[in-house]
Structure 1
Amino acid sequence: MHTEALVQSILVPLFLILLTTVEDTLLQSVSQVGGVCKFSSESSLRRCRTPDGKICSGRGKCDCGVCICEATDPGKFYGPRCDCHDWVCSTYNGTTCNDRGYCDCGMCECDEGWFGDACQFQEECNLPSKKSKALCKNPEGVVCSNRGTCHCGSCMCNNKDNRGLVTGRFCECDDSECVDEDTGEVCGGHGQCYCGNCYCASGWHGDKCEFQCDISPWESKRRCKAPDGKICSNRGTCVCGECNCHDVDPSGDWGDIHGNTCECDERTCHQTYDRYTDSYCTGHGQCNCGTCDCKEGWAGKKCEHPLSCSLSLESSMKKCQGTSNVPCFGRGQCQCGQCTCYPPGDSRVTGKNCECDDRQCENISGEICGGYGYCSCGRCICEEGWFGKLCQFPRSCDLSEVQSKELCETSDGVMCSGKGSCHCGQCICRPQDWWVSGEYCECDDRECDKHDGLICTGNGLCNCGNCECWDGWMGNACEIWVGAEY
């Protein structure tokens, strides 16, 4: 049975491509006599026009009533009107139809026993209800993000508009962000949408893949390459050979990342990135492409050190560092060997070198030590019967070993993603790999944005690769202070 399915999955797409090629060849042969098109220009275009009025779906050229589809990456347009492409069959794990079927003009034809847009659902389910529900919970513990139903450990996302715009493993993605308002097409018909972001075919650019380049992708990347060899310095998007630098402030009022290749990052000139002020270089210098040129009488990376100070710059920084690699543990301003912790007035950040950060004892919802302990200088002291960084694990367990392990297995049957141990139905990720986190140890916190060398700038928690900022902070790396003015 499996052999027959494999043969079918290989032969059917080949047959469809061959049939399309034969049809196009026959049509072109009857439409041309002696190399001259016998159709009028109007008749030729009519044969290439789609119901919505586009010639070859806007993805090819019309040659005597036959569409010559453009070659693009990823994938290739095909079909009588260039209206077929197989991008939509690709899945988040990099497979086509989850390797359980084949793609036919953007639609997955699933193998026996599987169904769904991407052949992701199994018709017969042997999972216990509790295990199935556990596999459908997002990192916040909500089943299918309240935007779908759980089927055998997989989320079936709500699809009221029949466009499939609610996607993702846990229905966490809103792909309506990819819809072009003018055409109504997802990514303008020139790319694939992954969790609200368009990934454009070669030669197309823009948030909705609406712009086409007149230069090759190679030339475009060459023009966008920064002196350090990175495209747009990893701080922007390359569009047709020009860098669109990322704006770190979602309000759009700031432009601290600039330069032809986004090589200038003036955030590094701020002691604390404060959207309310232009206090570059601690007010004692001028920011020049991310480097502070200090006024007379001041020194330091951010002109924070007065030369009138009895301590040298090196001695001042050493006194402020304590046991950390950065002054004031990255949570304060060092001046003449003294740390001023920020944000001002927040009693959770204390210590001579701002070494105590009691915010580290809070979970995403703000609960301290899971309600089963107290915080001491940024570390949880757990009550008897509880353990873990946030006192989240009970020492006693009323589950059998089999029941416990069932709750710790991922959908593909791997215990804690192979990166941790199971205790009472919960995964304890390997402590030596500090970056591993998540309900099933599936997350890599190294993917969280950094600023000044600190993950989430020390102003938030890394939640499965994304920064969750504490009150008063925002930005991809929680680097922007938006609290009370100071």
Structure 2
Amino acid sequence: MHTEALVQSILVPLFLILLTTVEDTLLQSVSQVGGVCKFSSESSLRRCRTPDGKICSGRGKCDCGVCICEATDPGKFYGPRCDCHDWVCSTYNGTTCNDRGYCDCGMCECDEGWFGDACQFQEECNLPSKKSKALCKNPEGVVCSNRGTCHCGSCMCNNKDNRGLVTGRFCECDDSKCLDEDTGEVCGGHGQCYCGNCYCAPGWHGDKCEFQCDISPWESKRRCKAPDGKICSNRGTCVCGECNCHDVDPSGDWGDIHGDTCECDERTCHQTYDRYMDSYCTGHGQCNCGICDCKEGWAGKKCEHPLSCSLSLKSSMKKCQGTSNLPCFGRGQCQCGQCACYPPGDSRVTGKNCECDDRQCENISGEICGGYGYCSCGHCICEEGWFGKLCQFPRSCDLSEVQSKELCETSDGVMCSGKGSCHCGQCICRPQDWWVSGEYCECDDRECDKHDGLICTGNGLCNCGNCECWDGWMGNACEIWVGAEY
């Protein structure tokens, strides 16, 4: 049965493309007599024009009433008006129609037993209701983010306008962010929207795929390549050979990331990034493309060390490090061998070397040790009957082993994504792999942004690849202090 479906999924689209080619060739042979087009120029263009007035959808040339589509990489446009491209059927996991059907001019034709825009839903369900709902819960434990209904472990998102703008595995995505302000089309009609971000068709660029590029993708990347070989230094996006650097300055007046290839990152010149103060190089130097040129009498990576100090820079930093690789554990400023923890006045960050960070005992909602313990120097001391980093696991369990394992399985039947063990219906991710997290150990916290070598700059929690910042901090890496002035 699977072999038959596979053969069908390969042969049917090939047959459709071949049929289209034969039809176009036949129409062209009929429309031409002796190599001369029998249609008038106006009649020829009318046959190639799409309902929105574009000739061959803007992706080909009109030859005697027949569209000759441009070849693109990857794949190509096809169809009578060059309006078909199978990238439209690609899904989040990199497959076409979730490998449960084939793509016909941007529409998924699903195999028997499956339905949905991307063939993501199974007609017959053998999952128990409880397990189905468990698979539909987002990381916060809300079924389908309260924006859809659960069907056999998959979320069917509410889309009353029939535009399909609520998407995502848990209906967590708002694809209205992809709408072009001028045309109202998703990604300008030239791309696919994935969770609020446009991924453009070959040859199209921009946040909403609104313009085309006159140079090849290879040449565009070559021009955007930084000296270290990374495209826009991994701090911007490459558009037609030019880098648009990510502006992290909340005031919007000046981007701290700049340069032709975004090679300059002046955030590294800040001791603590403060939107209210230009604290470049601790006020004792000038930032030049991310490197501090210190004034006379000052030294250090951020000009934080006075040469009048009786300690050398190396000795000062060593006294501030303690058992960490970073001075003051990355949570303070080292001044002549003494740590000043920041933000000032926050009693949760303490210690000679700022080694105690009681914020580490809080979960996303701010609860300390899950309500079943107390915090001691950034570590939870759990009450009897509870364990875990945040005292989130009960030692006793009223579930059977079968019931417990059912709640720990992912939608594809893998226990804790193969990266942890199951305890009372909850996944305990492997402690040796510190970066593995999530309800089903499905997240990679290495994807969270870093600053000064610290994930989320030590000012927030990494939640499934995204930084959740504590009060007073913002930015992709929680590197920006926006609290009270100090």
Tell me the TM-score normalised to structure 1 length: 0.98
Contact preservation (8 Å) 2:101, 2:119: yes
Deviations along 1:264-314, one digit per CA (max 9) or x if unpaired, are: 100000000111111110000000000000000000000000000011000
The aligned residue for residue 282 of structure 2 is: 282
| Structure 2: runs of 5+ lacking an equivalent | none
Once residues 465 and 320 of structure 1 are traced to their aligned partners in structure 2, the CA distance between those partners, rounded to angstroms, is: 30
SS state at 2:273 partner = coil
Contact preservation (8 Å) 2:88, 2:191: no
SS state at 2:150 partner = strand
Deviations along 1:411-450, one digit per CA (max 9) or x if unpaired, are: 0000000000000000000000000000000000000000
Farther off after superposition, 426-435 or 55-64: 55-64
Contact preservation (8 Å) 1:316, 1:335: yes
Once residues 83 and 289 of structure 1 are traced to their aligned partners in structure 2, the CA distance between those partners, rounded to angstroms, is: 46
Contact preservation (8 Å) 2:250, 2:275: no
**Displacement after TM superposition at 1:250 (Å):** 4.9
Farther off after superposition, 39-48 or 294-303: 39-48
Deviations along 1:148-184, one digit per CA (max 9) or x if unpaired, are: 1000000011111112111111111111111212222
**Displacement after TM superposition at 1:40 (Å):** 1.6
Once residues 159 and 186 of structure 2 are traced to their aligned partners in structure 1, the CA distance between those partners, rounded to angstroms, is: 15
Once residues 361 and 226 of structure 2 are traced to their aligned partners in structure 1, the CA distance between those partners, rounded to angstroms, is: 40
Report matched runs for 1:179-198 at 5 Å. 179-198=179-198
**Displacement after TM superposition at 1:10 (Å):** 2.0
Deviations along 1:311-347, one digit per CA (max 9) or x if unpaired, are: 1000100011111000010011111011111111111
Deviations along 1:337-394, one digit per CA (max 9) or x if unpaired, are: 1111111111111111111100000000000000000001000000000000000000
**Displacement after TM superposition at 1:46 (Å):** 0.8
Deviations along 1:192-236, one digit per CA (max 9) or x if unpaired, are: 211111112232211011121111111111111111111111111
Deviations along 1:14-47, one digit per CA (max 9) or x if unpaired, are: 1110110011111111222222222222111111
**Displacement after TM superposition at 1:74 (Å):** 4.2
Once residues 215 and 8 of structure 1 are traced to their aligned partners in structure 2, the CA distance between those partners, rounded to angstroms, is: 38
Contact preservation (8 Å) 1:190, 1:209: yes
Once residues 345 and 326 of structure 2 are traced to their aligned partners in structure 1, the CA distance between those partners, rounded to angstroms, is: 22
Farther off after superposition, 250-259 or 379-388: 250-259
Contact preservation (8 Å) 1:74, 1:201: no
Once residues 81 and 423 of structure 2 are traced to their aligned partners in structure 1, the CA distance between those partners, rounded to angstroms, is: 57
SS state at 2:16 partner = helix
**Displacement after TM superposition at 1:253 (Å):** 3.2
| Structure 1: runs of 5+ lacking an equivalent | none
The aligned residue for residue 215 of structure 1 is: 215
Once residues 263 and 339 of structure 1 are traced to their aligned partners in structure 2, the CA distance between those partners, rounded to angstroms, is: 31
The aligned residue for residue 433 of structure 1 is: 433
The aligned residue for residue 446 of structure 1 is: 446
Farther off after superposition, 426-435 or 180-189: 180-189
SS state at 2:10 partner = helix
**Displacement after TM superposition at 1:73 (Å):** 3.6
**Displacement after TM superposition at 1:252 (Å):** 2.6
Contact preservation (8 Å) 2:404, 2:425: yes
Once residues 72 and 163 of structure 2 are traced to their aligned partners in structure 1, the CA distance between those partners, rounded to angstroms, is: 24
Contact preservation (8 Å) 2:305, 2:335: yes
CA separation of 1:440 and 1:431: change in aligned 2, threshold 3 A? same
The aligned residue for residue 320 of structure 1 is: 320
Contact preservation (8 Å) 1:245, 1:258: yes
Tell me the TM-score normalised to structure 2 length: 0.98
Contact preservation (8 Å) 1:190, 1:201: yes
CA separation of 1:42 and 1:121: change in aligned 2, threshold 3 A? same
Contact preservation (8 Å) 1:72, 1:201: no
Once residues 113 and 453 of structure 2 are traced to their aligned partners in structure 1, the CA distance between those partners, rounded to angstroms, is: 49
The aligned residue for residue 67 of structure 2 is: 67
Contact preservation (8 Å) 2:249, 2:256: no
The aligned residue for residue 310 of structure 1 is: 310
Contact preservation (8 Å) 2:87, 2:201: no
Once residues 410 and 259 of structure 2 are traced to their aligned partners in structure 1, the CA distance between those partners, rounded to angstroms, is: 45
Contact preservation (8 Å) 2:361, 2:380: yes
Farther off after superposition, 444-453 or 179-188: 179-188
Farther off after superposition, 283-292 or 85-94: 85-94
The aligned residue for residue 397 of structure 1 is: 397
- Between Structure 1 and Structure 2, how many residues are aligned? 486
SS state at 1:238 partner = strand
Contact preservation (8 Å) 1:73, 1:201: no
Contact preservation (8 Å) 1:86, 1:105: yes
Contact preservation (8 Å) 1:145, 1:170: yes
Once residues 400 and 74 of structure 1 are traced to their aligned partners in structure 2, the CA distance between those partners, rounded to angstroms, is: 51
Contact preservation (8 Å) 1:49, 1:55: yes
**Displacement after TM superposition at 1:6 (Å):** 2.6
**Displacement after TM superposition at 1:185 (Å):** 2.1
